[in-house]
């Protein structure tokens, strides 16, 4: 047994579990914690640096000279600890590590809970407690309402460009709460998804290249302000999803790279560790301490900040040792395959652990591969996520929409193929930031044709997206048809809402969101094949599709015309006799279309067989039109 003084109040069991890869709350003892030890107030520091010759704590409290603050190695665990009296919350600090070859390096704390604003790189002592949460009603509601059978409509936000006050003059977490929360709630979203908020040195990385995994970025304020933001979201009926990046980390000197003078968080083999496309390093998932670090990180965001779930970034890259690597850098697993078996084991353990602690969590895989059973439980051989981005639908759909309307008839499969696999996973249909940046053009500007036709087709796309099986995600600015692609250094083009075309698109998206949330047939049975029935899937020549969405006790009929032609008397089969009421029509003049009061007239079915159904209705179908009908019953 080690002496209590040597441990500085740390638990031997905690450190043992950390070394075994099964400490899922390691943030509670690793890092810098204000504590009372042996009757004195101060801060206890703990860091993992197994190959260091010596580790010292440096900071403003000792003039950045750690000669009198050498940390004590705790046996052979690789953990070094020290209690320093009189150090207080808000103090800046780093670890000064003497490598085995005598090289002295200065590192930020991997478990820092707050960090100096870039370009500064120091860690800051911060408490984890102090906020009095007021979101009990939301937390109780979550436990009773599984996301699978509820509407899920996600607004993806980059906090540094949604709104800003000037160049690099960002909105704070509190200012975002004042503006973003009521806006998202009024637009009808169920969740806000925030692009990575962990501390990162480069704005242009959007938060995906991280140095402080436990540190909410200081660009927007203190951690306490982020807690207030999440709390206010919950009080306004909005969940919060965080983009989370457990696959890799950036190579800045103060970060995790060669942390103790040797490859530690990354693997020793550079061919496996290096990710040349991104200029980052992959985590070494074979190291048990890395598993403790990462799973604890996810638990930390849930415990401390009440985050409702994660969009897990780059799952395909984690699983595939060859992805985005030149031939000379490709490595193989012990079975001779390209699968990263350590990452596979990690992801399964991650999801099992998170669901054990938080059964109502959202864990959404951003996975572009065809890996099977991503959203199936691990005990059934799956990866254990509960949702997956449907990248296949997104790629096919955007490719289809960019075609000239006269060419679409030759690529009809791009419109319909997704229904061949739509029920193989729990899908989210993403129209995300990745599709509107780096020369890809905005969603609006992907549409062919005239200025007016671009808006017509974007409304059509949104209608099909909203009624296709799967949950929904839209990147900020898409709701009003941002014309320029996303500029991460500037704020969104809010000024375009002064123009009727964008204002009408904004109104359309808001009403489409509301119709989605109020129409159970669009979300009650998303993964059940019985929720979907084609009326006519084969009309490639006219580029028109029609289908039925079914809920537990209701159904809706959807018609979409992707052509530039006006079909005056277009007949479709319907499943029941009676009245069909338009819920939303993309061609309504209120949305920028050409049909006055498009949703006021009901359609009465005729006793005429069509499309294999006993009843049918005849409708006018202008170019680029989406129409959603609800069944009112048989009034005859």
Q: Could you read off the pLDDT of 227-285 as tens digits, one per residue?
A: 999 999 999 999 999 999 999 999 999 999 999 999 999 999 999 999 999 999 999 99
**Could you give the CA distance from residue 295 to residue 147 in angstroms, rounded to a whole number?**
23
Query: What pLDDT is recorded for position 521?
Result: 97
> pLDDT-based confidence at 5, cuts 50/70/90?
low
Three-state secondary structure call for residue 101: coil
Burial 470-502 (b: 16+ CB within 10 A, else e): bbbbbbbbbbbbbbebbeeeebbbeebeeeebb
Query: Which of 199, 230, 17 has its CA nearest to residue 114?
Result: 199
Q: Write the CB contacts of 183 (distance below 8 Å, at least 6 apart in sequence).
A: none
Residue 334: which of 326, 324, 344 has the closest Cα? 344
Average pLDDT over residues 338-352: 98
Mean pLDDT over residues 466-489, rounded? 97
pLDDT-derived band at 4 (thresholds 50, 70, 90) equals: low
Residue 409: closest CA among 624, 626, 562, 535: 562
Q: What is the pLDDT of residues 403-431, one digit of tens each?
A: 999 999 999 999 999 999 999 999 999 99
What is the per-residue pLDDT across 190-234, written as a single tens digit (0 to 9) for each?
A: 999 999 999 999 999 999 999 999 999 999 999 999 999 999 999
| Tens of pLDDT, residues 36-81 | 999 999 999 999 999 999 999 999 999 999 999 999 999 999 999 9
Looking at the predicted structure, is the pLDDT value of residue 314 above 80?
A: yes
Domains and CATH numbers, the chain: 4-124 (2.60.40.10), 150-519 (3.20.20.80), 529-633 (2.60.40.1180)
Distance CA 569, CA 557 (A): 17
Residue 349 has pLDDT above 50, yes or no: yes
Position 6 scores a pLDDT of 66
Integer Cα distance of 161 and 165 in angstroms: 10
Give the CA count within 13 Å in the CB-facing half-sphere of 422. Answer: 24
The yes-or-no answer on residue 396 being catalytic is: no
pLDDT of amino acid 3 = 54
* pLDDT surpasses 60 at 493: yes
- The residue among 244, 193, 243, 197 whose CA lies nearest residue 216 is 197
Q: How many other β-carbons are positioned within 10 Å of the β-carbon of residue 380?
A: 8
Catalytic residue among 156, 289, 313, 342: 313
* 220 in Cβ contact with 163 (< 8 Å): no
pLDDT tops 80 at residue 346: yes
Q: Are 613 and 574 in contact (CB under 8 A)?
A: yes
> Which pLDDT tens digit goes with each residue over 511-537?
999 999 999 999 999 999 999 999 999
Q: Would the pTM of this model clear 0.85, i.e. be above it?
A: yes
Average pLDDT of the chain, as a whole number: 96
Which pLDDT score, from 0 to 100, does residue 1 have? 47
485 has catalytic annotation? no
Catalytic member of 366, 396, 524, 526: 366
The confidence score (pLDDT) of residue 601 equals 85
Concatenated DSSP letters of 313-331? TTHHHHHBTTTT--GGG--
């Amino acid at each position: 047994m080690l002496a209590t003084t040597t441990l500085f109040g740390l638990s031997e069991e905690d450190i043992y579990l950390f070394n075994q890869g099964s400490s899922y709350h390691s943030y509670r003892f690793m890092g810098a914690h204000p504590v009372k030890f042996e009757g004195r107030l101060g801060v206890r520091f703990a860091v993992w640096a197994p190959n260091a010759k010596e580790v010292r704590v440096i900071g403003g409290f000792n003039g950045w000279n750690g000669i009198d603050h050498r940390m004590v190695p705790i046996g052979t665990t690789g953990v070094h600890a020290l209690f320093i009296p009189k150090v207080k919350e808000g103090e800046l600090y780093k670890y000064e590590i003497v490598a085995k070859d005598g090289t002295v390096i200065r590192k930020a704390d991997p478990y820092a809970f707050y960090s100096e604003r870039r370009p500064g790189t120091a860690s800051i002592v911060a408490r984890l407690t102090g906020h009095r949460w007021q979101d009990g009603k939301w937390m109780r509601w979550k436990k009773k309402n599984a996301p699978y059978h509820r509407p899920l409509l996600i607004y993806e936000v980059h906090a540094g460009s949604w709104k800003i006050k000037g160049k690099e003059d960002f909105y704070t977490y509190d200012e975002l709460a004042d503006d973003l929360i009521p806006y998202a709630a009024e637009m009808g979203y169920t969740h806000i998804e925030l692009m990575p908020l962990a501390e990162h040195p480069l704005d242009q990385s959007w938060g995906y290249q991280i140095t402080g995994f436990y540190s909410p970025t200081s660009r927007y304020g203190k951690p306490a302000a982020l807690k207030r933001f999440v709390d206010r979201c919950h009080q306004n009926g909005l969940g919060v999803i965080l983009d989370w990046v457990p696959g890799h980390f950036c190579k800045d000197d103060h970060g995790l790279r060669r942390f103790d003078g040797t490859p530690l968080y990354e693997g020793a083999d550079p061919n496996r560790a290096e990710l040349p496309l991104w200029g980052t390093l992959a985590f070494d998932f074979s190291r048990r301490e890395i598993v403790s670090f990462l799973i604890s990180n996810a638990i930390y965001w849930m415990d401390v900040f009440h985050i409702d779930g994660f969009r897990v970034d780059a799952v395909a890259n984690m699983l595939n040792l060859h992805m985005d690597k030149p031939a000379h850098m490709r490595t193989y697993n012990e079975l001779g395959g390209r699968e990263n078996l350590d990452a596979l084991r990690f992801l399964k353990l991650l999801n099992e652990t998170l669901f054990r602690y938080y059964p109502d969590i959202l864990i959404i895989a951003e996975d572009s591969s065809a890996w099977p059973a991503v959203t199936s439980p691990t005990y059934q051989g799956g990866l254990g996520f509960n949702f997956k981005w449907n990248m296949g639908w997104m790629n096919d759909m955007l490719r289809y929409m960019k075609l000239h309307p006269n060419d679409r008839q030759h690529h009809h499969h791009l419109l319909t193929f997704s229904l061949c696999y739509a029920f193989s996973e729990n899908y989210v249909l993403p129209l995300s930031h990745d599709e509107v940046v780096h020369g890809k053009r905005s969603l609006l500007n992907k549409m062919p044709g005239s200025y007016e036709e671009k808006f017509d087709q974007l409304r059509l796309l949104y209608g099909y997206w909203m009624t296709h099986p799967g949950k929904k995600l839209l990147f900020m600015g898409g709701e009003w048809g941002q014309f320029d692609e996303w500029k991460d250094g500037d704020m969104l083009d809010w000024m375009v809402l002064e123009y009727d075309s964008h204002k009408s698109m904004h109104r359309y998206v808001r009403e489409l969101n509301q119709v989605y949330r109020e129409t159970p047939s669009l979300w009650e049975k998303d993964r059940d094949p019985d929720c979907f029935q084609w009326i006519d899937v084969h009309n490639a020549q006219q580029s028109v599709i029609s289908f039925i969405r079914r809920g537990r006790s209701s159904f809706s009929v959807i018609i979409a015309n992707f052509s530039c032609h006006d079909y005056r008397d277009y007949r479709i089969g319907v499943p029941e006799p009676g009245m069909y009421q338009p819920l939303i029509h993309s061609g309504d003049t209120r949305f920028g279309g050409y049909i006055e009061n498009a949703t006021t007239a009901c359609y009465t079915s005729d006793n005429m067989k069509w499309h294999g159904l006993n009843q049918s209705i005849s409708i006018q179908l202008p170019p680029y039109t989406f129409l959603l009908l609800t069944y009112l019953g048989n009034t005859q």
